[in-house]
Amino acid sequence: MNEALFSSNKHDWETPQWLFDELNAEFNFELDAAANADNAKCDIYYTEETDGLTSDWYPYVTWINPPYGIGLYKWVEKAHKESLKGGTVVMLMPARTDTRYFHDFIWDRQKHKPRQNVEVRFLKGRIKFVGASNSAPFPSMIVIWNGRKLED
C-alpha cells in the first residue's frame, strides 16, 4: 500500500463515543484490541506495548479501531484469523474496497459478496474522530467477522 493514498500522517484515530456505544449495545464488547490507557473503550485492552497483533483476541468479543497506516493489512488479517478460531471481531476502518486486505479477508471475489462469516456496514458521510478538527478525509465502514457463522 502506498503512503500517498493517505491524506494524513495521523493513524491512530479515537473512535467517536456515540458510534462505539451504538455497536456495543449490539455486540457487548469485552476487548479493545488497539487502544491506549486514555482511549480504551473496554475494560480489557491491548496497547502498543502489549501488542494486539501478537496477543490472543479469542474468546473475547473484540472491538478494534486499528491504526490506519500501511500496517492495516496485518490488523485485518489478524481479525480474520481470530474469527477462524470462533471469535467475533468488529472493526472500524477506512472504506477502501480497492485494497488487497479487502479482497484477501473481507470480500469473496467469486461470489461478489462478503465472505461467509463477514458482514460489511458502510457508514454514511465521513465520521469525525475524537480530537479531530474536521471529519475524516475518507469514508468508513464497520466490518464484522463472526466466527460462529463458520460453525453453522
pTM above 0.75, yes or no: yes
At 133, the pLDDT band (50, 70, 90 cuts) reads: low
pLDDT score of 74 more than 50: yes
Nearest to 75 by CA among 105, 118, 98, 45: 105
- Check residue 40 and give its pLDDT: 94
The region of weakest confidence among 3-12, 24-33, 80-89, 115-124 is: 3-12
Nearest to 89 by CA among 66, 70, 71, 122: 66
What is the rounded CA–CA span in Å between residue 63 and residue 93?
11
The region of weakest confidence among 27-31, 96-100, 134-138, 139-143 is: 134-138
What's the pLDDT tens digit per position in 14-67? Answer: 788 889 999 999 999 999 999 999 899 999 999 999 999 999 999 999 999 998
Helix (H) or strand (E) holding 27: helix 17-27
- Check residue 151 and give its pLDDT: 59
Provide φ and ψ at 23, rounded to 5°: -75, -35
The residues spanned by each domain of the chain are 12-134
pLDDT score of 132 more than 70: no
What is the rounded CA–CA span in Å between residue 117 and residue 38?
32
Nearest to 61 by CA among 40, 39, 41, 90: 90
At 5, the pLDDT band (50, 70, 90 cuts) reads: very low
Nearest to 137 by CA among 122, 127, 151, 124: 127
